Chain A
Amino acid sequence: MYRRRFLGLLCEAAVIAPLVFQIRTASASLDKVGVNSETLSAFLDVLIPKDETPSASELNIHKKIISHAYRIENYIVLLEQGLAWLDRQSVTYFMKPYAALSTREQERVTYLASTPDAPSIVQLFFSRIKNDALFIYYTQPESWKGMIESPPQPYGYPDFQEIG
Chain B
Amino acid sequence: MGFLHEDYDVVIVGAGAGGGAMAWALAQEKIKVLVLDAGPAYTPEVDFKLTTQNWEDSFPAKYKSPAVQFASHQPLKKQYKGLRSWNHLRGLLNTSNERISFGYHRVQGIGGSSLHYSAEAHRMNPHAMKMHSRFGVAADWPLTYEELEPFYAQAEEMMGVAGNSAHPPRSRWRSTPFPQKAHPLCAHSQILSRGFNQLGLNLEHNSLAILSTPTDGRPSCNYCGCCLKGCSRMDKGTVDLTYIKHAVATGFCTVVPNVSVKRIETGDKDKVTGVQLVHEGKEMHLRCDLLVVAGGAIETPRLLLASKSAQSPDGLCNESGQVGKNFMETLLWTSSCFYPQALGSYKGTAVDAICWDFNDPDAIPGVIGGCRFSTSVAESDLLGPRAYATRVVDGWGLDHKKKMRALFGSVLSVSGICESLPHEKSFVGLSIDKDESGMPLPVISSYLDEEAINRIAFMSDKCREVLSAAGGGEIFEEFSSYDIFSSTHVFGTCRMGNDRGRSVVNRFCQSHRWANLYLVDASVFPSSGGGESPSLTIQALAIRAAKHIINRSG
Contacts and interface: CB of A to CB of B under 8 A. Distances in A.
Interface of A: 1-12, 14, 46-49, 51, 53, 107, 110, 114, 130-131, 134-135, 137-141, 143-144, 146-148, 151-164
Contact of A164 (B51, B341, B489): B341
B385 A143 contact: yes
Nearest to A12: B58
B87 interface: yes
18 contacts: A2-B381, A3-B417, A7-B477, A9-B102, A10-B87, A10-B381, A134-B400, A135-B386, A146-B408, A151-B50, A152-B224, A153-B55, A157-B347, A158-B222, A160-B186, A161-B190, A162-B187, A163-B343
A139 B49 CA distance: 12
Contacts of B90: 10
Contacts of B93: 10
B206 interface: no
Interface residues of B, number: 77
Interface stretch (B23-31, B74-82, B388-396): B388-396
Contacts of B488: 2-5
Given A3-B332, A4-B105, A147 B405 contact: yes
Given A157-B344, A164-B343, A7 B380 contact: yes
B379 A3 contact: yes
B324 to A, nearest CB: 23
Given A1-B486, A6-B479, A8-B380, A158 B102 contact: no
A135 B390 CA distance: 7
A147 B408 contact: yes
B449 interface: no
A152 B348 contact: no
Contacts of A143: 385
A2 B105 contact: yes
A156 B383 CA distance: 12
B334 interface: yes
B341 A157 contact: no
Contact of B396 (A4, A12, A46, A153): A46
Q: Which of A49, A148, A152 has the most CB of B within 10 A?
A: A152
Contacts of B417: 3
A138 B103 CA distance: 27
B226 interface: yes
Interface of B: 49-58, 85, 87, 90, 93, 102-103, 105, 118, 184-187, 190-191, 221-226, 228, 232-233, 330, 332, 334, 336, 341-344, 346-348, 376, 379-391, 396-398, 400-402, 404-405, 408-409, 415, 417, 477, 479, 481, 484, 486, 488-489
Contacts of A153: 50-51, 55, 222, 224, 226, 232-233
Contact of A139 (B54, B87, B404): B54
Contacts, number: 203
Contact of A147 (B330, B385, B477): B385
Contacts of B387: 11
Given A4-B105, A144-B385, 5 more contacts: A3-B332, A9-B102, A47-B396, A139-B53, A161-B187
B360 to A, nearest CB: 21
Contacts of B334: 1, 3, 6-7
A92 B240 CA distance: 63
Contacts of A157: 222-225, 344, 346-348
Contacts of B477: 7
Contacts of B342: 164
Nearest to A48: B401
B386 A4 contact: no
A163 B388 CA distance: 19
A130 B396 contact: yes
A157 B384 CA distance: 13
A157 B347 CA distance: 6
Contacts of B336: 7
A105 B359 CA distance: 58
Nearest to A10: B391
A159 B382 contact: no
A97 to B, nearest CB: 20
Given A160-B348, A161-B184, A164-B343, A4 B228 contact: yes
Nearest to A147: B408
A-B interface, 7 closest residue pairs, ranked by CB to CB distance from nearest: A156-B222, A8-B381, A152-B224, A160-B347, A153-B50, A157-B347, A3-B332
A161 B186 contact: yes
A138 B387 CA distance: 9
Given A138-B389, A160-B344, A49 B401 contact: yes
A152 B226 contact: yes
A137 B386 CA distance: 8
A10 to B, nearest CB: 6
A164 B186 CA distance: 11
Contact of A6 (B221, B409, B484): B484
Contacts of A164: 187, 341-344
Contacts of B103: 5
A107 B399 CA distance: 12
Nearest to B417: A3
A47 B404 CA distance: 13
A4 B55 contact: no
A138 B393 CA distance: 13
Contacts of B484: 1, 6
A7 B479 contact: yes
B389 A163 contact: no
Given A1-B486, A139-B53, A148 B384 contact: yes
A163 B191 contact: yes
A36 to B, nearest CB: 20
A1 B386 contact: no
A154 B51 contact: yes
A150 B189 CA distance: 23
A3 B489 CA distance: 8
Given A134-B389, A148-B384, A152-B225, A140 B53 contact: yes
A5 to B, nearest CB: 4
Contact of B379 (A4, A141, A148, A156): A4
Nearest to A155: B222
